[in-house]
Amino acid sequence: MVKLRVLILVGVIVVLGLVVALQPNRTSSVSAADVTSVAVSILPSSLGVDDAPEYVGSKKCKICHIVQYRSWEKLKHAKAFESLKPDQASEIKTQFGLDPSKDYSTDATCLACHTVGFGKPGGYVVPDTKDSKAVKRAKSLEGIGCEMCHGPGESYLKLHKEIMKSKRKYKHDEMFAAGMTPVEESTCLSCHNTKNPTVDKESYTFNYHERLVDGVHEHKPLKLCEDPHATPKPSSPGSGGGS
């Protein structure tokens, strides 16, 4: 779709340019160059919105990353959307002055940290309940999915598929160039901060290294990566992990 629209836009620019250039008595102050530059200045901004890679949902990663998926599924991140529903985590809600009987699952102030990509292009949108396609898509983006840490899938899925097929070696940088995001402390801090209404703002701290070990998913060493780096050690006891 994006390509088609760009083609049409470029076509329009060319035609506009020609129309102006070919006018027999060009008394108008608008030149071909002006028309083109106006049209071109529209081009990048419309592209910017359209071109943003979409979030595809964690299920799309499952087939190739079953170890990570299965362990992620059991952790709180996967279930973060549930906590927004009435009568869930009631004790914590009460403790922090939230209403345990209220449905917060359409509340924009909560969704940013309890869904995948809320407020970002191609991310979670509160669905119209009559639109079954929108409901299904929203469902796939509930909770803290893979893409909240690894970046929107549309940008790199093709590359992963190609590597899967060819079994060729690659370097991390190739993944990041394709749109994956390195997972860093700041990734976590975008949600684990004092804007979270369920923490004590005075005393809040986030221990990155501790929480990384138990809070993310099990790890499986990369085989095709030429420069596997400091992947956190698996947290399962007896694995030699921890320190």
Chain residues that interact with ligand HEC, rule: CB under 6 A: 56, 58, 60-61, 63-65, 68-69, 72, 76-77, 79-80, 83-84, 89, 92-93, 98, 104, 107, 109-110, 112-114, 144, 146-150, 153, 157, 160-161, 163-164, 172, 175, 182-183, 187-188, 190-193, 195-198, 211-212, 214-217, 219-220, 222-225, 231-232
At residue 116, φ and ψ (nearest 5 deg) are -95, 115
To the nearest whole angstrom, how small is the minimum distance from the Cβ of residue 196 to ligand HEC?
4
User: Helix, strand, or coil here: 21?
Assistant: helix
* First vs last C-alpha separation in the chain: 51
User: Which residue do the tokens 């309890």 mark?
Assistant: 114
Nearer to ligand HEC, 13 or 56 (CB): 56
Q: For ligand HEC, which is the closer residue by CB, 100 or 127? A: 100
| Cβ–Cβ under 8 Å, residues 139 and 145 | no
Residue closer to ligand HEC by CB (options 38, 224) is: 224
Shortest Cβ distance from residue 85 to ligand HEC (Å)?
Answer: 9
CB of 102 to ligand HEC, least distance (A): 8
Find the shortest distance in angstroms from Cβ 191 to ligand HEC: 3
Instruction: Give the shortest CB-69-to-ligand HEC separation in angstroms.
Output: 4
Spatial distance between the Cα atoms of 142 and 123, rounded to a whole number of angstroms: 10
Residue 165 has which token pair?
A: 């097929």
What's the CA angle centered on 73, arms 239 and 121, to 5 degrees?
120
Of 60 and 137, which CB lies nearer to ligand HEC in the complex structure? 60
Long-range contacts of 62-67 (CB under 8 A, 24+ apart): 64/160, 64/164, 65/146, 65/220, 67/217, 67/218, 67/219, 67/220
Cβ-based nearer residue to ligand HEC, 34 or 176:
176
Q: Which residue is nearest to ligand HEC (CB)?
A: 215
